[in-house]
Structure 1
Amino acid sequence: MSKSRISVHRLTLAAVMAAAYAGLTLLLPIPQYGPVQFRVAEAMTLLPFLFPEAIPGLAVGCFLANLLGSPYVLDWIFGTLATLLAALWTSRMHNRYLAAVPPVVCNALIVGAEIAYFSTLDGAAFLPAFAMNAVTVGLGEALVCFVLGTLLLRVLDQVPALRGRSARQAQN
């Protein structure tokens, strides 16, 4: 019985994270798609550092946001893949301040390549377009993750109900 409670709790937490990610992405009137992005919901990609439930929640939330906000099927797939890989990698980080690195790297490379592909259609200009998009996407992601994401982790540390939730939380 205890196992099913944990499963329901984890499923609910993942669903709430998915809804929050999709809602923040779709409702905020700031650039969320394209070569210049400031996707505030990406601050949540640091949550797998503390909560394993965030991994499927973020992937589903990103997929829903891209499905409803982007006309490109490849964005639905590769944008979601970038968030999923970043969440998996973040969950394995041992330092909260370095937990922002995986989302920045994954999004700069994967989303940067995706945008370059759309803008050049895999032509000779792909590499310069990729370099430019990787930098612009990476800068926006770095700002969100290193500022908002690390602040989010710090705030969550102050919530008494969440203390002791993660062994890593106590170490860092």
Structure 2
Amino acid sequence: MKNQKVTFMTQAAMIAAIYVVLTFVFAPFSFGEVQIRISEALTILPLFTPAAIPGLFTGCLIGNILGGAILPDIIFGSLATLIGAFFTYQLRSKNPFLGPLPPIIANVFVVPFVLRYGYGVALPIPFMMLTVGIGEFISCGLLGLIIYYALKKYKNVLFRPIRDRV
């Protein structure tokens, strides 16, 4: 039982760290009205492990804080990632092509309002929903599914609890 908790926390911490690193390595694309946050590709990971849910939330939260985001963006942007990760986990036994949909939908309905009312971006909200949706489709949909299929054959090694390892 203790090993399972340690494994869960370790996986969550590693996912958070990778999210933060990817956010900053690709910082020119990670922030702004038109963004492709490469780190959002990791939102596919709840299909493999529930530890990805707090890991993604924490990574997004830290990435937003260190990236200089304003408080509404830190709160609501991170919550959008949390909601997306939670519902991706709920779809884990379904078709993997459904996995990217929750984070895409969550961000399409949250981020444009943060941009408008938090940052004062004067673009129309439907236009920002489109641009955020395109960015999320690229990162969560295309890159996320590439990650999914790359990790799928190793999921029993990478995401198996320690108690199952010999």
Taking structure 2 as the reference length, the TM-score comes to 0.88
Q: Is the 8 A contact 2:73 2:118 kept in 1?
A: no
CA RMSD of superposed structures (Å): 1.9
Q: Which residue of 2 aligns with 1:138?
A: 133
Q: Residue 67 of structure 2 is aligned with which of 47, 66, 69?
A: 69
Matched, 1:41 2:39: yes
1:47 to partner: Cα distance: 0.6
Distance 2:15 2:26 in 1: 16
In 1: Cα distance, 2:88 partner to 2:64 partner: 21
- C-alpha distance in structure 2 between counterparts of 1:164 and 1:114, whole Å: 34
SS of structure 1 residue aligned to 2:130: helix
Once the two structures are superposed, the pairs formed by residues 11-30 of structure 1 within 5 Å of their partners are 11-30=9-28
Aligned residues: 158
> 2:145 is matched by which residue type in structure 1?
T
Higher-Rg structure is 1
The code of the aligned residue for 1:110 comes to V
Give ranges in structure 2 of 5+ residues lacking alignment. Answer: 161-166
Match of 1:148 among 131, 143, 146: 143
Q: 1:120, CA displacement in angstroms?
A: 4.2
Matches within 5 A, 1:94-105: 94-105=94-105
Larger deviation, residues 84-93 vs 67-76: 67-76
Going from structure 1 to structure 2, the CA distance change for 1:60 and 1:117 (only over 3 Å counts) comes to same
Runs of 4+ in 1 over 6 A off after TM superposition: none
- State the alpha-carbon separation in 1 of the partners of residues 120 and 158 from structure 2: 48
Counterpart contact for 1:63–1:77, Cα < 8 Å? yes
Note the C-alpha offset of 1:119: 4.9
2:48 touches 2:159 (CA, 8 Å); kept in 1? no
Contact 1:17 1:61 in 2 (8 A): yes
Between the two proteins, what is the percent identity of the paired residues? 36
Tell me by how many angstroms 1:105 deviates.
0.5
The aligned counterpart of 1:113 is 113
Letter in 2 for 1:105: I
